[in-house]
Amino acid sequence: MKVGDKKVVTLTYELRQENPTGELIQKVDMDRPFVYLFGVGGLLPKFEDSLKGLQAGDTFSFGLTSDEAYGEVTDEAIIDLDKSIFEIDGVIDEDLLEIGNSITMQDQHGHPLEGIVMEVTDDTVKMDFNHPLAGENLHFSGKIIEVREASDEEVNHGHAHGPNGHNH
């Protein structure tokens, strides 16, 4: 069976900066393989394009430019926020606002966004909402472990389920 729409794909991979010998960013091995429903838009489009048509046992190795991955670092993603939005019951947790801390926030549509604290003043907090891999060329290499038909429930939910049902 080949990787394609409405297929659940199990794979292992290494993600590196730039090329096959670049700095290791992430390794997913057989202890906890990556399992996903192909074609639902949850992954980088070029990543999925590079796996389409492969089958169990096939290996892969491909690069993505920063534009094909998470885009370039943009100044528009660096925002000064009013410090008062970090108040809980009228108190600001100053430890939360340490430079370099990652804080999960929400955009105007309620979607989670990770921001890094860059600067704190008496009135504002400067946050960087660029993706951590923005501006990076990436290289993936790995192996397709299994390809199976997605269940109707998985297709309706838009994600793969684990062996005992939901596995989010």
List the domains of the chain with CATH numbers: 7-70+135-157 (3.10.50.40), 75-128 (2.40.10.330)
Q: Can you name the residues that pair with 82 across neighbouring β-strands? A: 124
pLDDT, tens digit, for every residue of 68-100? Answer: 999 999 999 999 999 999 988 888 888 899 999
Give the H or E element holding residue 51. helix 45-51
Instruction: State the average pLDDT over residues 153-161.
Output: 89
> Above 50 in pLDDT, residue 163?
yes
Location of structure tokens 């999925």: 48
| Cα–Cα dist 139/64, whole Å | 6
Q: What was the pLDDT predicted at 164?
A: 47
Listed in sequence order, the residues at least 6 apart from 19 whose beta carbon sits closer than 8 Å to its beta carbon are 63, 139
User: What predicted TM-score, i.e. pTM, was given to this entire model?
Assistant: 0.80
Instruction: State the average pLDDT over residues 27-36.
Output: 94
Instruction: State the average pLDDT over residues 116-137.
Output: 95
66 or 87, which is more confident: 66
Q: What was the pLDDT predicted at 167?
A: 54
> Above 90 in pLDDT, residue 40?
no
> Above 80 in pLDDT, residue 37?
yes
